[in-house]
Chain A
Amino acid sequence: QKEVEQNSGPLSVPEGAIASLNCTYSDRGSQSFFWYRQYSGKSPELIMFIYSNGDKEDGRFTAQLNKASQYVSLLIRDSQPSDSATYLCAVLAYNAGNMLTFGGGTRLMVKP
């Protein structure tokens, strides 16, 4: 079983819709959770992080964390074609150093 799991996609949504990206993790010691956006051939760009259970909103992005279910998600409202990219979920467990453990990423396609 992978430590951080994501559906590879592609996830296809129409422009203006809500895109929902999901991630599960296996290490219950995980304490910080990050979403990175990566355009093809570019660097992973940090777009959201969440440390506490519940929701965290930033503009069109909402991160949701449920530690009991070991589940973290990213919602993108009013999806735009420019949101088309691979979204990487990453997890940090302080008792395992400061390394990020990444999922394989979900490719999102927003169709005009």
Chain B
Amino acid sequence: EAGVTQFPSHSVIEKGQTVTLRCDPISGHDNLYWYRRVMGKEIKFLLHFVKESKQDESGMPNNRFLAERTGGTYSTLKVQPAELEDSGVYFCASSRNSYEQYFGPGTRLTVT
């Protein structure tokens, strides 16, 4: 069974630019989560999809972040416009049963 995949693995952009991160969950996993780890901090929850519906987006920091999961398969997370404080590692996770979450390798985002 293939694991969670994320693209790109690294992204370096300038402040004010737009970046789109992609996550492909494990096949058959209806639950998809986005998390973020900024330098020196804990991994923090951003949002949770069940199939194509946003179940919980309480962790989204502001309206510069937009997540979608059209068709209930892969998900994208867009940051527009990016700010310096958005730098960090963005993890995607998926689960079949909402409990045991399996993480992808992450996208390291650097905003300069």
Contact = CB atoms under 8 A, between A and B. Distances in A.
Given A99-B33, A99-B59, A44 B91 contact: yes
A110 interface: no
Contacts of B106: 43
- The size bracket of the interface on A is 20 to 34
Interface in B83-101: 91, 93, 95, 98-101
Grouping DSSP codes into helix (H, G, I), strand (E, B) and loop, the A interface class, with mixed when no group exceeds half, is: strand
Interface stretch (B14-22, B42-50, B62-70, B74-82): B42-50
Given A4-B42, A103-B42, A98 B48 contact: yes
A49 B45 contact: no
Contacts of B41: 104
Interface of A: 2, 4, 32, 34, 36, 42-46, 49, 88, 90, 92, 97-105
Given A46-B100, A49-B100, A99-B58, 16 more contacts: A4-B42, A34-B101, A36-B103, A43-B104, A43-B105, A44-B43, A44-B103, A88-B43, A97-B56, A98-B33, A98-B95, A99-B56, A100-B45, A100-B93, A102-B43, A103-B42
